[in-house]
Amino acid sequence: MRTLLSLIVVASLSASVSAQNLWRGRVTQSNVGIEFLKPNFTDRNAGTTGLVTTLSGAFTLRGGTALVVEMPFIFSSYSSPFGLSYDESALGNPYLGLQFGPSGSSYYGDIGVRLPLMDEHQDLARGVATLADIDRFEAYIPHVFQASAAVNFDHEVAPSLRLLARIGPSFDVSTSGRGGTNLYADYGVTFELQQQEFSLGAGYSARMILTSDAGSIDDRTIDEAVLGGYFRIDRLEPGLQARFPLDEYLRREITATYLVSLRLTM
Reduced 3-state DSSP string for 50-74? EEEEEEEEEEECCCCCEEEEEEEEE
Q: State which amino acid sits at residue 3.
A: T
Model confidence over 76-115: pLDDT tens digits? 998 887 778 889 999 999 999 999 999 889 999 999 999 9
Q: Is the residue at 64 inside a domain? A: yes
Which residues touch 101 (CB under 8 Å, ≥6 apart)?
A: 26, 64, 107, 108, 109
DSSP 168-215: EEEEEEESSSS--EEEEEEEEEEEEEE-SSEEEEEEEEEEEESS--SS
Higher-confidence residue of 96 and 4: namely 96
Q: Is the residue at 231 inside a domain? A: yes
pLDDT value at 158 more than 50: yes
The confidence score (pLDDT) of residue 45 equals: 78
Q: Cα angle vertex 22, ends 17, 28, to 5°?
A: 140
The confidence score (pLDDT) of residue 78 equals: 85
The confidence score (pLDDT) of residue 69 equals: 96
Average pLDDT over the chain, rounded to whole?
A: 86
Model confidence over 251-262: pLDDT tens digits? 888 999 999 999
The confidence score (pLDDT) of residue 104 equals: 85
Host domain of residue 17: 2-260
> Which band of pLDDT confidence, cut at 50, 70 and 90, is reported for residue 24?
low
The confidence score (pLDDT) of residue 1 equals: 37
Q: Is the residue at 266 inside a domain? A: no
Higher-confidence residue of 260 and 214: namely 260
Q: Is the residue at 162 inside a domain? A: yes
pLDDT value at 233 more than 70: yes
The confidence score (pLDDT) of residue 181 equals: 87
Q: How many domains does the chain have?
A: 1
Q: Is the residue at 24 inside a domain? A: yes
Model confidence over 131-144: pLDDT tens digits? 888 778 889 989 99
Q: Where is average pLDDT lowest: 56-60, 130-134, 225-229?
A: 130-134
Model confidence over 160-200: pLDDT tens digits? 999 999 999 999 998 987 777 889 999 999 999 999 899 99
The DSSP output letter for 27 is -
The confidence score (pLDDT) of residue 38 equals: 93
Q: Is the residue at 252 inside a domain? A: yes
Instruction: Please compute, for residue 151, the number of CA atoms within 13 A of its CA located in the half-sphere on the CB side.
Output: 3
> Which band of pLDDT confidence, cut at 50, 70 and 90, is reported for residue 234?
very high
Q: Where is average pLDDT lowest: 144-153, 185-194, 212-221?
A: 212-221
Find out whether 249 and 6 touch, Cβ atoms under 8 Å: no
The confidence score (pLDDT) of residue 2 equals: 38
Q: Where is average pLDDT lowest: 29-38, 48-57, 128-137, 210-219?
A: 210-219
Q: What is the mean pLDDT of residues 18-40?
A: 78
Q: Is the residue at 265 inside a domain? A: no
Read off the CATH number of the domain in which 238 is found: 2.40.128.130
